[in-house]
Chains A and B, each alone.
Chain A
Amino acid sequence: MSSHASAVGSTGSVWEGGQSPYATNSKKFGMWLFLISDSLTFSAMLFAYTYSRVTNPDWPKPFDFSPAIIFSTIMTFCLLSSSLTMVLAVHAMNHGDRKATVRWILATMVGGGAFVVLHMSEWLKLINVEHVTALNNPWGVPLFGGTFFALTGLHMTHVLCGLIYLTFIAVGVGRGKFKAEDVEVSGLYWHFVDLVWMFIFPLVYLMSAKVG
């Protein structure tokens, strides 16, 4: 049986199940499936935000160009740069350089941490200065707070989970555990968090920017 299986594994066609049809490992494929399902969750929330906005002509524009839009642009820069450092971590791990991998993962975490700090300050300004909550706000459009905090809160939760995930990976790689594929899978998750922000930033922040 085993000899038959190994023979099929080396010579069988894709359609006979003799080879991995995606030529990838199961961890990476599992992460891709999770990310696709998570994409649908974020898509649904972005559509909920957009529909709420379209149906409310009085939708507020609470984001002053300075400092809110400048802050969120810096947050975007932090996430984009952390994606670059994550790619470099995967690259270093593929070349077997564990020390460089840990350094690049730590740089990624610095970018992610800066994003969370800036985002929290943005939230606190909205809550304390503008008096926006998930249920109410001064402009009389309660759906704004509900959809805004749900969408950006879910994204921030993903960033925090990513930071915890990367901590485990960095510690493991530093101790000689984990393979290149494990770092690559964590990278997939981190890039996804970056990718989602590429839609939240323009649709939520830039479309509600207030100049002057």
Chain B
Amino acid sequence: MSQHSEAVEHNAGEVLHVGASISTFAKVWIALLVMTGMEVLLAYEQVPTLIMLTVLLGLSIIKAALIIAYFMHLKFEKLSLFLTLFPMLIFCIVLMLIFLGDAVRIPNMRPPA
């Protein structure tokens, strides 16, 4: 982390950590564009739905993690901030999956037209 991060010295020797260097931001941006290109290619190739959904969600989570870590600076914040904000967010999102089983079953429960 230290070789890619930089700090700016402000008044009276106070050091303000400003996160990654410009080259790191550019690399993250390129990685995000490449992953977006991969997603579009998958859609163009009309990959089977389940495989496509899994790969798209995986890539989206990686892209979100890169944005949060580098662009939103969380990688350079204290661990306590991450631990306060994200475990409960992930827990609540996972809880929303609770109806997925019902949603998948509903089409099979419809009486034939």
- B84's closest neighbor in chain A, by CB? A22
> What's the dominant secondary structure at chain B's contact region?
helix
Task: Indicate if A107 sits at the interface (CB-CB under 8 A).
Answer: no
A-B contacts counted at CB < 8 A amount to 136
A54 proximity list for chain B (CB < 8 A): 100, 103-104, 106-107
Chain B's closest residue to A198 (CB) is B63
In the complex, are the beta carbons of B8 and A188 less than 8 A apart? no
Does A43 count as interface, using CB distance less than 8 angstroms? yes
A-B contact pairs, 30 of them (CB 8 A): A22-B84, A23-B77, A24-B77, A24-B78, A33-B85, A39-B93, A43-B93, A47-B96, A51-B103, A54-B107, A55-B103, A76-B36, A77-B33, A84-B71, A88-B22, A94-B8, A188-B72, A191-B71, A191-B72, A194-B71, A195-B67, A195-B72, A199-B60, A202-B39, A205-B43, A206-B56, A207-B53, A209-B46, A211-B43, A211-B44
Q: Which residues from chain B contact A188 at a C-beta distance below 8 Å?
A: 72-73
Instruction: Assess whether A161 is interfacial by the CB under 8 Å rule.
Output: no
Could you tell me how many residues of chain B have their Cβ less than 8 Å away from some Cβ of chain A?
51
Chain B interface residues toward A at CB < 8 A: 8, 16, 18-19, 22, 25-26, 29, 32-33, 36, 39-40, 42-44, 46, 49, 52-53, 56-57, 59-60, 63-64, 67-68, 70-73, 77-78, 80-81, 84-86, 88-89, 92-93, 96-97, 99-100, 103-104, 106-107
